[in-house]
Every structure is written in structure tokens, then in C-alpha cells.
Amino acid sequence: MGKNIGLFWLKDDFRIRKNLALFEATKNHDQVVAFYLYKKQKFDHQEAQKWWVSRSLEEFRKKLDKYNINLEIIKIDSYKKFFGKLFSYKNFSIYWNKTYEPNYLKFDDYLSKNFKINEVDFKILKGNILNEINDVKKADDTPFKVFTPYWRTAEKIYLDKIPANEKIILKCKKKISYFKNIIDEKEISPRKKWFNKFEKYWTPSEDNALLQLKNFINSRIENYSEGRNFPNLPGTSKLSPFIKHGQIHVETIWDECQKIKKIGSSKFLAEIGWREFNHTLINNFPYMLTGNYSKKFDKFPWRKNPKFLSAWKKGLTGYPIVDAGMRELYSTGWMHNRIRMIVGSFLVKHLLINWMEGEKYFKNCLLDYSEANNISGWQWVAGCGADAAPYFRIFNPILQGEKFDKEGEYVKKWVPELREVPKKFIHRPWELNNEKILKLGKDYPKPIVLHEEARQKALSSFKKI
């Protein structure tokens, strides 16, 4: 193997467009190999994502093939051990894009130091973000803790340095292999064939991400501000798993929205802004990855209640909008944002269960699971995050259902045992009192807690902190 080999370390960057590390590798080398490191333990609590990653590897391999680039998957126990061996090869240059999570960024420092010592050429490039984490700061050089001023500043900074032209990946002269003991992507699949259902809903490819973005912009973005609240409508982009795994770069989303300048695009881009904001939060306040951002919540009297937790996970709480959401999550690997807020609020406020339990379950089930968004989302719901919903604002699952799923279509889709329940009772089936239509407690559970009682308990628990 000559010195001219370029290695591209593939992480969450399953795309050709705006993939700076891949671009640099093909610009500087005639022969390039892409490699993906599969550390099984990393996915032990991210079952659903195994399916997305496995399918993404399959799709991306086909794409890279057209550029004469081999994609090799290596099973590892430890990143340090793997790179420790690689340092001694020295017949390559290596490129990768940043992943904006504190552990990855810390590891980048470790690798930089060691590649330098070993005289290996390496380049770490900008990953899937608009602004680098430290580019957006307050005037006093401290990080923003509130979203609105953050995004106002972030947008201006980004506008000043939008990349002028797109870098195009080049076709390599010859396809080569590099690593030994490579594995097939099929080795990365979740347990229990659970994933079979996902096939119906998702195709994890770059082409599909672009198509989905274009369809959304052409037909739905104008109604986004309103439509994004209704879980039975296709009101949002459903791009989150593609963004998480880098099938699409957020700069591409920005560019496409700017081209059309339709109403709704600034609201849509502001949601991309929340993603950026969440990444700056976890990197500036990494302690929030394992605990409350707001320390006063350390004293919150959470309750351990395995029976309630299990009912919540299974979608058997007796509150139709909550149960529909939890079943949508399990069946599709995704849940609508409003419903994430409702089920999250129900867990932490009605059941008084620590948000970390919800975070853990979402992590295992979400195809779009992202450390930054999931942790910040849960802390927002629980009231302990930066710029969070106040704890005392407690979502009423009945009124939320009646407002955002007026006809009960969403509930009926995911909770079929309520299909015959008239609209008037769909979000309060315990008031129906008609055993011919629904035997409460048999066909469908009675509410596991009563809303008003639970609300009072939550408020008095909150007073304790």
C-alpha cells in the first residue's frame, strides 16, 4: 500500500453532498477507503438505530461504489484500541467530520495529538451543523442559555459565512480494500425482528432525504407553522432520522429553504435552530448529559413506579393521546413533536417518574435519537433544562387531544380498540359508559391516574424544591 491512500472515517455522514471529509479525501488521493467502526456496546441501548445504521450502510455502499470507494465495516471493542493499531500503519492520510457530542470532540483531541506524534496526516472537518459550537456566543463571550437571542445571533453569523460553492466528491481511479476482518452490515440489526415494521415507513438513503425535503418544501412548508401541531397530518418534514445520521446536511436544508423563500421557511429553519442550540448546550454544559441542567431539580421527589412506567411504555395508560404516541413510537421508530411533549409531560408530571427513564426509553426506540436533542427535549419537558417549559405548566392530555386531534383520527390509527368510540368521547373514553362499544378495563384500560389529582400532586412536589 502506497502513501497515497486516503481513509475516510464514516460516522453520522451517510451522504455525498456537503461531506467535507470525503471531499478532502478524494481531492488529495487517487485511492480512498471509507470505514465505519461498529462498537456493539454503543448500540446496546439504541436498538432501533441499529436498523437505520445497517440500512444506511447498505445504501451508502452502493453510492460509494460509483466513486470507486470501498466501504469497510470493522467491529471493535474500543475506539482507542482500534486507533492504537492504526497509528503504526502510517501509509495513509485520514479524514473525518466532527460529531458534536462532548465525548467525540474530546476523542478528536486525543486522535489529533497521537496522529501528530506518529506523523500521520489527518484532517478534521466541519460536521452536520450550520455554525461551529464556539462561533455563537454572547457579547461577553459566554454561551447562550436562551433560544431566541441565540438563534437571532446564530442566523446572522451563518449568513456572513455561507459556503460559496458546493464541493464535489471526485471519482477515485481504483477501488481498493484496506482493512482485515471486515463484517457485513447485516450483523448490525436489532433484536426480535422488531425492525421489520420500520421497512414500511422509511428508506434511509441520501436520495430519499433530498426527495423528502423537496416534497415538504413544495407542498407543506407554507402551512408548517400551523400544520406542525397536528399529529394526524403530514405537517412536518419527518427529516429527523436523516439529519441525525447525516443523509442530509443542515446547510442543504438552509439552501433549499432560501431558494424558495416561502412563508413557513423561517419557522422551519428555527426548528433546525433548536437543534443547533441543543448541541451548544450539551457541549457547554456537559454535566446535563447525566443530570439536571437546573441543579434545584436534584432534590425533586421523583417516584419509582415500575407498573406505571411499564404502562406508559406499552401505551396502556388509559389516556388515548398518550397511548397513541407511545404505540406510534414503537411501531415506526418516530413520534410527532407535539406528542413527544405530551407523553413526556405525562411521565414526569402525572406519574412523577424521573425524566431520565423517558430519555432512556426514547433512546432505545427513536430512529432519530440524538444525544443533544433527546436530553435537551426531555429536560425542556421536565422543566429542569435551559430555556425549558416551566414545571408548573402541566399539559392536560384530554384537552391536548381535543385541541390537536379533534376528530380522534390519530388516536384511532394507533389505538384500534377505540375505533368505534364516538368523537365526543375519544379523548375521555371513561365517560362513554356504553359497554357495547367499549368495555373499559377490559378492551382498554381505565386511566392509571386521575388528571386533576395527579396535577395537584405534581404541583405540591414542585413546591418542595
Task: Name the residues that contact ligand FAD, by CB under 6 A.
Answer: 228, 236-240, 243-244, 271-272, 274-275, 278, 337, 340-341, 344, 362, 366, 368-370, 373-374, 377-378, 381
249 vs 412 by CB, closer to ligand FAD = 249
Check if the beta carbon of residue 235 is closer than 8 Å to that of residue 223. Answer: yes
- Taking CB atoms, the residue at the shortest distance from ligand FAD is 377
Task: Tell me which residue of 418, 55, 371 sits closest to 201, measured CA to CA.
Answer: 55
Check if the beta carbon of residue 280 is closer than 8 Å to that of residue 446. Answer: no
Cα gap 95→56, rounded to integer Å: 20
Report CA-CA distances (Å) from 215 to 159, 219, 236, 449: 25, 6, 11, 42
8 vs 230 by CB, closer to ligand FAD = 230
Q: Which amino acid is at 465?
A: I
CA atoms within 13 A on the CB side of 150: 23
Check if the beta carbon of residue 391 is closer than 8 Å to that of residue 462. Answer: yes
Residues 6+ away with beta carbon under 8 Å from 278: 370, 372, 373, 375, 376, 377
6 vs 231 by CB, closer to ligand FAD = 231
32 vs 272 by CB, closer to ligand FAD = 272
341 vs 418 by CB, closer to ligand FAD = 341
320 vs 385 by CB, closer to ligand FAD = 385
Residues 6+ away with beta carbon under 8 Å from 104: 11, 98
Check if the beta carbon of residue 255 is closer than 8 Å to that of residue 212. Answer: no
